[in-house]
Structures are given as C-alpha cells and as structure tokens.
Amino acid sequence: PDATPSFLSPFLFNSRLTSPDAEPNRSSGSRRRRDRAPAAMSGMEEEENAAELKIGEEFLKAKCLMNCEVAIILEHKWEQLQHMSDGGADQVSQVFEKSQAYVKRFSRYKNPDAVRQVRETLSRYSLVEFELCTLGNLCPDTADEAKALVPSLVPGGRFDSDDRVDKMLNDLSLIKKFE
C-alpha cells in the first residue's frame, strides 16, 4: 500500500539506506570547498553570508525538506518494511530509528495535508529552500522572531515590509490551527 503523499514521492529512497550494514556516506557530512583555489590566492571568492543569501550555488539549488516532510517519508518507509514478509522491520538501522524519532519529535505539522499546505503557502512568498524549511520547522510567532532566525527576510531585501512577513506567519498559524 502506497500511502505516501504524491508531493513527497521524489524523496523516497532505496531500502539499502535502512540496512544495518549500510556504509555511512562520509562525503555528505561536510561542506568543504573542493577543487577551488584558496580565497587568498584567487581573490575572487566571496564570504558566505546567509543574511544576504550568499550560501553557495550548490546550497541555493538544493532541495530541502522540513522535519515534517522527512517524518512522513520515514514513516512510509517504516510501513513498507513492516509489510515485508522476511522481517524487514528487523533490518532497520539505529540511525534510521533515531532519525525517525527526531523528526517526529520536532515536526510542527503531523497531518500530510497540512504539510503540503505549509510548503505551498511558503512557496508563494518566493522563499529559497532553506528559508522555507527554516520557517516551516521553527514556526516563529512574530516578524522579529522570523527575521532573527532567517536574516534574509529583513525589509529592504526581498521583503518590502514586516507586514508581508506577518501575513506569511499568519498563514502558517492558520494551517496549524486547523490541522
């Protein structure tokens, strides 16, 4: 049975990731700058600054997921393993279990429809992925709190006033209220 919401389908992963024997991907843990000359030598490299959305091309293009989206994906994977006839649930790694517990604990939205609405709502505000996920994960209550968490929201940048940030936060609170 495939109960995963269609908007999360591209993020479903291979079962080898849940195997206790799976090798950890050591290259994804760090964001080192490879194949580049040191900044002092090139003189062209800019310092990264999230407040100005200078976070590196690979990060700007990356697809980010909110904790609630990851929770849905991991829950779906867990259900798939439960339905396997050869004791698939016994093959779940400790990392999988801890990851699942973490995203369940810190997910602000539990209902898959609410999760979809949050992404759609925040997408209407032309946020980059990491801004969208930060706001969706942390659910700030005020524009000041949102700007402290995501400095690129400061008026004068892409957002012309606090009113637009307040409207966005109000939209999120309505989703949570009716979840």
CATH number at residue 130: 1.20.1250.40
* Residue 28 maps to a domain: no
**pLDDT by residue (tens digit) across 95-108?**
999 999 999 999 99
* Domain span holding position 99: 68-107
Say yes or no to pLDDT of 55 above 60: yes
Stretch 72-88: mean pLDDT: 83
**pLDDT by residue (tens digit) across 105-120?**
999 999 999 999 999 9
Say yes or no to pLDDT of 141 above 60: yes
* Residue 173 maps to a domain: yes
Q: What gap in Å lies between CA 167 and CA 179, rounded to an integer?
A: 19
pTM exceeds 0.85 for this model: no
* Residue 172 maps to a domain: yes
Say yes or no to pLDDT of 39 above 60: no
pLDDT band at 136 (very low <50, low <70, confident <90, very high): very high
Decide: 140 and 147 in contact? Cβ < 8 Å: no
Tell me, yes or no, whether 121 and 169 share the same domain.
yes
* Residue 27 maps to a domain: no
How much is the pLDDT for 119?
97
At 141, which amino acid appears?
A: D
**Alpha-carbon torsion (70, 71, 76, 78), positive or negative:** positive
Q: How many domains does the chain have?
A: 2
* Residue 24 maps to a domain: no
At 126, which amino acid appears?
A: S
